[in-house]
Amino acid sequence: MTKTVLITGAGSGFGRGVALGLARAGHKVIASCQIWPQVTDLRAEAAREGLDLKVIKLDVLSEIDRNHALALDFDTLFNNAGIMESGPVAELPPEITRRIFDTNVFAALDMAQGAARKFIRAGAGRIVWTSSVAGLVKVPWDGAYSASKFAVEGFCLALREELAPYGVQVCTINPGAYRTGFNDTGMEAQDQWWAQGERVMDHWPVRELTRQADPSEMVAAMIRVLTEDNPPYRTVLPKPAEDMARREQIEEWDRRV
């Protein structure tokens, strides 16, 4: 069945790949981008390919933008927009933690609530939320991002049970490390503030991002979760990341300090 999917964070990375992939498959797509230059760029790419792709401006932190998007006609929300900024929890500036939670949790929750009200009235709909492997396991030096995704997991588990009686489905997608640029810039962000104050910890050890996977695998999985009749509640990829998450969750029960 053809879906009409509203995607947040479609200006780059997974969101952009999913928007184009869905449009190529004949689905109706409302691809939202954070800033106007991204809107222009994605519209141009869709035009070059001859795709029927509606592209709008949606900064999820803007109530005006959220209201505009939620007033459109769609039956599936892909709550995908998110940010990551690295740094040890003991040193992380509060404004960064707030910014991460404002984007990844509170703005995304506003979108989910708006979509849920629409879908409850319709008696059907699906909310797919980009979480992360970081929402399932410890991630040193990315604690704020990880905590935001743990919050996403908690909301989604509750939403799944609360909305099921109304015919509304909830799914999570939990990517590991993929070559979208998201992890690279998230790690580099720490260097913006590290030297601006007195630090009691050492700067993190260099982590070379040489083992990131091809994002096409994750994009294809996202499209399946958005369009298949009975997708899994949780999709974790790549497979080694799923194996690691399962193992670490078990190990935490027996860990001693």
Tens place of pLDDT per residue across the chain (257 aa): 568 999 999 999 999 999 999 999 999 999 999 999 999 999 999 999 999 999 999 999 999 999 999 999 999 999 999 999 999 999 999 999 999 999 999 999 999 999 999 999 999 999 999 999 999 999 999 999 999 999 999 999 999 999 999 999 999 999 999 899 888 899 889 999 999 989 999 987 767 788 888 999 999 999 999 999 999 999 999 999 999 999 999 999 999 99
Sheet holding 125-130, edge to edge: 54-57, 28-33, 4-7, 76-79, 125-130, 168-175, 234-237
Domain ranges of the chain: 4-252
Question: Is domain 4-252 in CATH 3.40.1080.10, yes or no?
Answer: no
**Which position among 145, 166, 178, 233 bears the catalytic label?**
145
Q: Is 145 a catalytic residue?
A: yes
CA angle 78, 84, 89 (to 5 degrees): 135
What predicted TM-score, i.e. pTM, was given to this entire model?
0.94
